Structure 1
Amino acid sequence: MHPPPEGAQPLVYTLLVFLHIFTTMTAVGLNASYAIWIARGTRDPASLPFALRGVKFIDDYVANPCYLIGGITGVLMIAMGKNVAPFLWVAIALYLVAMALAYGVYTPLLSRQIKTLDTKGSGDPEYQTLARRSNQVGITMGILVIIILALKIFEPPLW
């Protein structure tokens, strides 16, 4: 249970907590599915364009907006008086890095990967380079999200 901070309206705070957990859980789950989509598409070149476009659609219209809602609800909980322990400051900083990577690197990279696949095919060296980079960025973001999740679950006393 997440008790509301002193002075916060309990129902509103509880709804924010629910929305925060639900949207971030949805985003993390969808992100984890990207590896499955891409692996299946890579094994069947005819389905690769569909798989990459599916990942792009989910990323643009569901996962990333869910992460943004998670961030907004987190800020609102803090504005309502939630105590921000050191582990939470670290999680917030990692969240900002992950969002910068998502919007500034992964999304444009995935768009270029799809465009290159359409024009040059999956065997093209440029496509292979983009696919490798996309996977590396995806793995990096996944690691950041796992660290954030661990920080929020274990709440370690950092300092």
Structure 2
Amino acid sequence: MHVPPEGAPPLIYTLLVFVHIFATMVAVGLNASYVIWIIRGTKDPASMAFALRGVKFIDDYVANPCYLAGGVTGVLMIAMGKAVAPFLWVAIGLYIVAMAIAYGVYTPLLSRQIKTLEASGINDPEYQMLAQRSNQVGALMGVLVVIIVLLKIFEPPLW
């Protein structure tokens, strides 16, 4: 059990921990499903636009808001007195980088990929380039998220 910091209301702190962990689980799980959606679309090119619009919908309205909820609850737990160990500072920094990439790079790239697919088709060189870049950015964000989760689970003494 997550023991609340001294002076923090136990019920509120425990609810924050629950929302923090649950929102993060939902976000990470949905992000992992993007690979499945995209592979299915690749195997059936006629469904690729549907798959990408599905990924975009989930990303915009569920996964990214869940990541934001995880960030807000994390800040609230710190405000309630949770100690911030070095591993947590690294995780927070990686979270900020991942969110910047998500909103600043991946989301606009995915929108452009969908528009290019619908305008020019799956075999268009620009679409292929955007799809490759989108996969690379998605993989980078996936690595960042896995590192964050590893830091949170193992709490390594970094310095």
TM-score normalised per structure 2: 1.00
Q: How does 1:112-127 map to 2 (within 5 A)?
A: 112-127=112-127
Q: How does 1:1-159 map to 2 (within 5 A)?
A: 1-159=1-159
Per-residue deviation, residues 106-156 of structure 1 (Å, max 9, x unmatched): 000000000000000010000000000000000000000000000000000
Work out the number of aligned pairs and report it.
Answer: 159
CA distance, structure 2, for counterparts of residue 16 and residue 67 of structure 1: 14
Shift of 1:48: 0.4
Matching residue's letter, 2:136: Q
Q: Which runs of 5+ in 1 are unaligned?
A: none
CA distance, structure 2, for counterparts of residue 42 and residue 107 of structure 1: 20
Once superposed, what is the RMSD of the aligned Cα atoms? 0.3
Structure 1 segments, 4+ long, off by >2 Å, are none
Matching residue's letter, 1:33: S
Shift of 1:54: 0.2
Q: Which runs of 5+ in 2 are unaligned?
A: none
CA distance, structure 2, for counterparts of residue 25 and residue 86 of structure 1: 23
Shift of 1:11: 0.1
Identity in percent? 81
TM-score normalised per structure 1: 1.00
CA distance, structure 2, for counterparts of residue 158 and residue 140 of structure 1: 22
Matched residue of 1:46: which SS?
helix
Shift of 1:104: 0.2
